[in-house]
Amino acid sequence: MSTRDSRSDAVLIDLCNTGDRDAAVDAFEALYQRHKQYVLRVAYRYTQDSDLALDVLQETFSYILRKLPPSGEGLDLGSKLQTLLYVAAKNSAISLLRKTRRTDSAVDPDELPTPAYRDTSELAQLLRGLPAGQRELMTLRFVDDCSLRDIAGILDIPLGTVKSRLHQAIQGMRKSRYVKEFFNK
């Protein structure tokens, strides 16, 4: 299946839920090809490890597959598929990191990871001075191009909270020494 499949996510999910075996496999492959890079980006933000990000990719799409017939009851999209994939990838990454931390070191297993930014891209430099929650919000909005309503669904917070946190993040960036250093290069 081509990555340029013109069918919408909703149509592809419907085919996965109700289509014959060949149509369902084709639709799932189209969804995978369309969204795998997005899931890898989300996974890498949390794991900072390419191999672990690939494990998260596999677990995320395995989770989606388990929801589909014949093993599951089907997937009902209440919002964009990207919203569900973000949450599934984030939770898979956190779960995987908890497992690896239990075996690798004595880190508190309840310590949740936050998106990390090791790269030196301009955006990463600008976001460096923000608290982790604000970095996640800004990344969802300006990197992943999620709507405010989608962000509310992803983070499971009210729309008003998204708006106020986004405003705080922007204000924080304006005051950040990283932003001042960046623009004074």
The pLDDT, as a whole number, for residue 180 is 67
Token pair 């993040």 is found at 169
The answer to whether the 1-113 and 114-185 domains have the same CATH topology is no
Residue 162: count of CB within 10 angstroms of its CB: 23
Cα–Cα dist 60/89, whole Å: 5
The pLDDT, as a whole number, for residue 179 is 67
Check: CB of residue 83 under 8 Å from CB of residue 152: no
Q: Which residue ranges in the chain fall short of pLDDT 50?
A: 1-3, 103-114, 116-120
- Predicted TM-score (pTM) of the model is 0.76
Cα–Cα dist 162/159, whole Å: 5
Q: What angle do CA 33, 39, 41 make, to 5 degrees?
A: 115
For 16, the token pair is: 């996965």
In CATH, the number for domain 1-113 is 1.10.1740.10
The pLDDT, as a whole number, for residue 173 is 82
| First CA to last CA distance, the chain | 46
Q: Where do the structural domains in the chain lie, given as residue ranges?
A: 1-113, 114-185
Say if domain 114-185 classifies as CATH 1.10.10.10: yes
The pLDDT, as a whole number, for residue 109 is 36
The pLDDT, as a whole number, for residue 20 is 93
Token pair 């369309």 is found at 34
Q: Is the peptide bond before 115 cis (omega within 30 degrees of 0)?
A: no
